[in-house]
Structure 1
Amino acid sequence: MYPSLLDALSATLLDGEPQTENPRHRALLDTYTDVQALDRQLAEWTERAPSDDDADELDQIVDLLVERMAAGAVLRRLLSAGCCCADTRDGACREDPDASSCPGNEADPQSIVQAALYVFGCVGSPEALPSVDLVSCLREIPGKPEGRWNYAELTPVRLARLMSPHGIAPRNVTYRDGGRFKSYRMADLLAAEAGRQNTQGS
């Protein structure tokens, strides 16, 4: 697993102080590592001698291929999605020099729905965003949404749990490139936020 102990030691000696790991970069590295490991397993299958249980072997190969394609799709999404909100030394969002507008600002805590809408705005306000991409961007925001997990600790499952009380759930969405992913729709987020504002105004 990167970085190794030697890498950490050299970074400390050269930089003078430990650097905070970027969650998005970690997700990219981990996913790429998974893709390489699956490629090695597929290569090993091609070098094996045929077995007597062809049906069972075929099922294993198919499962491995499906897993490899899914990992490749996640990697492509991570590589193509624009970086949105990220920590800086002063805790402000890079896209917004005004730290008060960042969803993770402790002086003005926002709901997970508002944070998700912020991310949608950062990436061009698409109709839908795959859960893995939304999580990747949310993890770059400082703070703790809904008082549960830090943004940096979010996973698709945790995000779904945070969204559930707001009446929002990920849906299967097919994109122009043919990919089909569990995604969050902007319309659902806007409807939930409008309902919250109406409740507060009444």
Structure 2
Amino acid sequence: MNVFVEVQQFEQRLLTALTTPPPLDIGSAEEWDLCTDLLIARLAAGRELSLLLSAPCLSEADFAAAKAAGEAVKTSFGTGAGEQCCKEPDESAACLLDACSNVFAELGDPHAVASADLVEALQYLPGTAGNHWRYSDLTQARLAQLLAPHGTRTRDITLPDGRRRKSYTREALLAAMGVCTNC
């Protein structure tokens, strides 16, 4: 639970750093470095949380090795790969999967999110989704194409508001991220 709270604190600090004007004594390069450091710390904490959530799938030695590999994120921007029962997405997919996971978190971690709603939320992000399109250029079809290699596909689901839509489930997204949902 402490790691989950730590992830939330890093996200809040990062959001604050990005949305509030910097103090007059901080230059733009220092502000950039601060945001980069916060983002790296958030990614490392998110990886540790993912490892903790999949802990029943790992032997004690494998968990220690995976956690040590995750520490490399702080210094090398790498993702490391410990032996575990769940697959690890490649780096470009990890960014998109993390972005999708963040949308689910912002919506209160519902069971499913309509594809159209997920695309609409992702379109406001800077950067590139996968290696193909900018987030601002995403469509439902492009998102489906990027997520399909990771076993994440839409399903017809009736959402809590009564709409029946093509939707992505939280469980499928977690499985694509390497979080074991079967243990």
**TM-score normalized by structure 2?**
0.48
**TM-score normalized by structure 1?**
0.44
Larger radius of gyration: 1
- Of structures 1 and 2, the one with the larger relative CO (CA 8 A, separation 6+) is 2
